[in-house]
Amino acid sequence: MRPVEASTYAPRVDSIFWMLTAASGAVILLVGTLVLFFSIKYRRGTATPRGPVPDRLSREVEIGWTAATAFAFLFFFWFAAVAETTQFEIPRKAMEIHVVAKQWMWKLEHPNGTREINTLHVPVGVPVRLVMTSQDVIHSFFVPAFRTKQDVLPGRYVEAWFEASKPGTYHLFCTEYCGTDHSRMGGGIVVQSQSDFARWIDAQPQGDSLADQGAVLFRRMGCTGCHGGSSRIRAPSLAGVFGRQQPLEGGGFVTADESYLRDSILLPNKQVVAGYQPVMPSYQGVASEDDLIRLIAYLKSQKVVSPRPEVGP
């Protein structure tokens, strides 16, 4: 029985699976038939000649099967590579969900601040980008109906995406052994029509968006002290930082994505922006995973309004 295909990715994975199964089946059939054929042909007592195979013929056969195997391999490789690379090309317009795994639950957050535990509501036909991290050990986010599986690691962000293609409720599993209740660390993805999803999210308790909560944290944690603009300590302005190419001290650039911002808060001296001193203290152990999500959401929401006027004569 075929497991349900509920994402745009699922039919691609399945088609590769069925092609490989068909190819393997054909090879098994061919080899089995030949074994049977020759064991009858050369059975004991027959007068079939048993001399060596002619040189020329065997060379052609050898070139033939080597080429056929190579082409079959390249054919499958190409199909799988195309499917695999789409898993790393996250659509720009994707809706974002933050996932924090911990022993033994999935914490899921929508950009508007709606939080869910173990159950994630998403609309059908909309790409969903997952920005995931773990609070403790390695977990793995697995939705069989989507054919989506991604390890979730502590200390960094990993990304995955899917686009659900069929409304319904689908299993979410943890597929990395993570302790006593690993087997219970599951939940569900509720895929709704876009109008049902809009109604659902409107019906959730209205709180502040992640970015608004981040703005409060940004002040409370003292970030404004240096990054506020009026500070005497020279710190890079953070308005419009997200997505920017940051020049680094010592040469090179880094794209300011979620992982970079996360590192800049926890390990500020790992990559120092060109022209600045490595004076920022680490917020390791100060900012929780939930705080980081909020701070980063705030930084992402900061657009450059106008360049700061240069002070000087």
Q: Which residues bind ligand CUA (CB under 6 A)?
A: 101, 104, 139, 174, 176-178, 182, 185
Indicate the angle between helix axes 289-301 and 258-266, nearest 10 degrees.
Answer: 120
Instruction: Give the shortest CB-104-to-ligand CUA separation in angstroms.
Output: 6
Instruction: Give the shortest CB-180-to-ligand CUA separation in angstroms.
Output: 10
At 3 the three-state DSSP class reads coil
DSSP 147: T
Cβ neighbors of 168 (< 8 A, separation 6 or more) are: 4, 6, 145, 191
Which CB, 100 or 164, lies closer to ligand CUA?
A: 100
Instruction: Give the shortest CB-89-to-ligand CUA separation in angstroms.
Output: 27
Hunting for tokens 């603009």 — which residue is that? 229
Phi then psi for residue 136, to 5 deg, are: -135, -85
Q: Within 13 Å of residue 274, how many CA atoms lie on the same side as its CB?
A: 9
Instruction: Give the shortest CB-136-to-ligand CUA separation in angstroms.
Output: 9
Instruction: Give the shortest CB-52-to-ligand CUA separation in angstroms.
Output: 59
Q: Within 13 Å of residue 238, how many CA atoms lie on the same side as its CB?
A: 22
Which CB, 42 or 177, lies closer to ligand CUA?
A: 177
Instruction: Give the shortest CB-39-to-ligand CUA separation in angstroms.
Output: 49
Instruction: Give the shortest CB-173-to-ligand CUA separation in angstroms.
Output: 8
Give the type of residue at 194: Q
Query: How far does Cα 193 stand from its chain's mean position?
Result: 24
Tell me the torsion sign for CA atoms 84, 87, 90, 94.
Answer: positive
Which CB, 20 or 153, lies closer to ligand CUA?
A: 153
Which CB, 138 or 267, lies closer to ligand CUA?
A: 138
Distance separating alpha carbons of residues 95 and 162, to the nearest angstrom: 10
Cβ neighbors of 2 (< 8 A, separation 6 or more) are: 14
Which CB, 97 or 132, lies closer to ligand CUA?
A: 132
Which CB, 111 or 154, lies closer to ligand CUA?
A: 154
Instruction: Give the shortest CB-178-to-ligand CUA separation in angstroms.
Output: 3
Which CB, 97 or 256, lies closer to ligand CUA?
A: 97
Distance separating alpha carbons of residues 71 and 152, to the nearest angstrom: 36
Q: Contact at 8 Å (CB) between 172 and 188? A: yes
- DSSP β-bridge partners for residue 122: 191
Which CB, 130 or 174, lies closer to ligand CUA?
A: 174
